[in-house]
């Protein structure tokens, strides 16, 4: 226990530097291990659809203060987030609602301008279909709520990207390589520092 609580001495650091080949090899092994994990069990594909949201502050609150603008944006955005995750919107997608809420779908940080609707799936075409359908269902439901007076009439939405969606792995290869390299490098460093060679 004292070995782990005691800070490394100068001799320990010198031994670590001299073993640079060992921990460099550990980092290389980690990179290969991370790549192997990525190709053996790759992360799902992620597709992204985009809806442009314009709150039209100048028309909705032409003579109000910045603070009132902030509350207006926060209130209307919160309503729209609830719509995005509502049963009515998600039921338009060809997947169980429970699965969609359990990490299959992700919504970007709501703000004025582009709202990004992400969908993950092992099949890139399914991911694209889910993202596109979610964005379309969201825009249609928000428009219905605007007409019903539940959302400010000056809010404008436009589905700007719902076809030929970009599809990439939800976690890039570089993350796997970095994680594998860092983990094995750390193990190699600990091995050099705490596994002392036997003195004959």
Residue-range domains of the chain with CATH? 2-41+173-194 (no CATH), 45-162 (3.30.70.1130)
Q: What is the pLDDT of residue 144?
A: 94
Q: What is the pLDDT of residue 23?
A: 73
- Contact by Cβ (8 Å): 176, 34: yes
* Tokens coding 11: 């001799």
Residue 195, number of CB atoms within 10 A of its CB: 7
- Contact by Cβ (8 Å): 200, 23: no
What is the residue whose two structure tokens read 């004292």? 2
Residue segments in the chain with a per-residue pLDDT below the cut of 70: 1-13, 15-17, 19, 60-66, 111-112, 192-200
Residue 38, number of CB atoms within 10 A of its CB: 20
Q: What is the pLDDT of residue 75?
A: 87
Q: What is the pLDDT of residue 59?
A: 77
């Amino acid at each position: 226990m004292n070995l782990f609580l005691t800070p490394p001495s100068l001799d320990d650091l010198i031994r670590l530097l001299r073993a640079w080949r060992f921990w460099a090899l550990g980092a290389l092994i980690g990179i290969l291990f991370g790549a192997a994990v990525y190709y053996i069990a790759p992360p799902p594909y992620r597709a992204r659809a985009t809806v442009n949201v314009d709150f039209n502050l100048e028309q909705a609150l032409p003579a109000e203060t910045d603070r009132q603008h902030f509350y207006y944006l926060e209130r209307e955005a919160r309503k729209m987030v609830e719509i995005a995750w509502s049963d009515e919107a998600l039921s338009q997608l060809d997947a169980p609602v429970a699965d969609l809420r359990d990490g299959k779908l992700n919504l970007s940080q709501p703000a004025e301008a582009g709202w990004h609707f992400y969908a993950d799936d092992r099949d890139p075409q399914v991911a694209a279909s889910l993202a596109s359908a979610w964005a379309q269902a969201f825009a249609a439901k928000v428009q219905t709520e605007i007409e019903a007076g539940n959302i400010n009439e000056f809010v404008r939405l436009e589905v700007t990207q719902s076809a030929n969606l970009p599809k990439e792995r939800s976690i890039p290869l570089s993350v796997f390589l970095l994680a594998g390299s860092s983990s094995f490098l750390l193990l190699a460093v600990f091995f050099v520092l705490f596994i002392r060679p036997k003195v004959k």
